[in-house]
Amino acid sequence: MPLDHRRLRGPEESQPPALWAATAAEDEEDEEGAGAAPRDPCALRPLFARAGLLSQAQGSAYVELGSGTKVLCAAWGPRESAEPGPGRLLCEFRRAPFAGRGARGRPGAAAEREAEREAAAALREALEPAVRLGRYPRARLAVSALLLQDGGSALAAAVSAAALALADAGVEMYDLAVGCALSRPPAPAASWMLQPAEPEERRAAARLTLALLPALNQVSAVLGGGRGGPPEDWAQALRLGLDGCHRQYPVLRQSLLRAAQRRDAAAAA
């Protein structure tokens, strides 16, 4: 019988898939188990931000958190709209197919699209108070956020990245919107935790995402829910989130300033 050279022959020896599935589950439990040292709930994860890195968009920004979350945003300035009245802000949120860790917890296509629509609506709610839409009558502003890697606190990172991208596009804004996420573990006496990682978010009894305009000291959005305890605990979470936003603000402003300096240097060259 002639050989089929168009196909790649498999190995002569193989192992059943169940063997590797069990090993992966054990590795996952080791990684997320109690062996990890507890971290300070008030500590912020390292934040990296860079504005003005995409030439195909009027404005762009990249934000990365120490938990592994990576968000890339692009923004486009005013475009003519047929609808009368003040300007409109259009927001899009998408997850890259490789954003999650493996196939664990990956929703179906319909559920994923619904989650992206909800995230886009939350993004718009957080950004609209920061943009001077009245200065753009009969115009549309657009921002698109792409989640490259989900290590937790993804929506908060997308808020900060989208605000940076809009400012980099030259859109008039009252202030940069800064996002900060919090979660509360299911333990009865547990305290709220700043910028939770993906495993911490998944096991949380309550989650909260806060958007703040630090220069105005104005909250633009509060999103979340769950079993967070009495009202005093939610008030504590808000205070912790406000402090986290204020602490991230200088990093975002500095990244925007560097982008403007790079643009001026390129124009002068």
Kindly report the number of other CB atoms within 10 A of residue 131's CB atom.
23
**Rounded CA separation 230/192 (Å):** 13
Tell me how many degrees the CA angle 137-142-147 measures, rounded to the nearest 5: 160
Residue 201 counted as domain residue? yes
Residue 68 counted as domain residue? yes
Give residue 12's pLDDT. 56
Residue 6 counted as domain residue? no
| Number of domains into which the chain is organized | 1
Domain that holds residue 71: 41-268
Q: Along the 269 residues of the chain, how does pLDDT read in single tens digits?
A: 454 545 545 455 555 554 444 444 444 444 444 445 567 778 888 999 999 888 888 999 999 998 889 999 999 888 887 777 778 899 999 988 887 754 444 556 777 788 889 999 999 999 999 999 888 888 889 999 999 999 888 999 999 999 999 999 999 999 999 999 999 888 766 788 899 888 888 888 888 999 999 999 999 999 887 776 777 888 888 999 999 999 999 999 999 999 888 888 888 87
Residue 22 counted as domain residue? no
Residue 253 counted as domain residue? yes
Give residue 175's pLDDT. 94
Which domain CATH number covers 179? 3.30.230.70
**Is the dihedral angle over the CA atoms 251, 255, 256, 258 positive or is it negative?**
positive
3-class secondary structure for 119-138?
HHHHHHHHHHHHECHHHCCC
**Rounded CA separation 69/199 (Å):** 12
Contacting residues for 199 by C-beta, under 8 A, at least 6 apart = 31, 32, 152
Q: Of all residues in the chain, what percent are helix, strand and coil, respectively (each to 5)?
A: 35, 25, 35
What residue type is assigned to position 181 of the chain?
A
Give residue 87's pLDDT. 82
DSSP calls for 181-198: EEEE-SSTTPPPEES--H
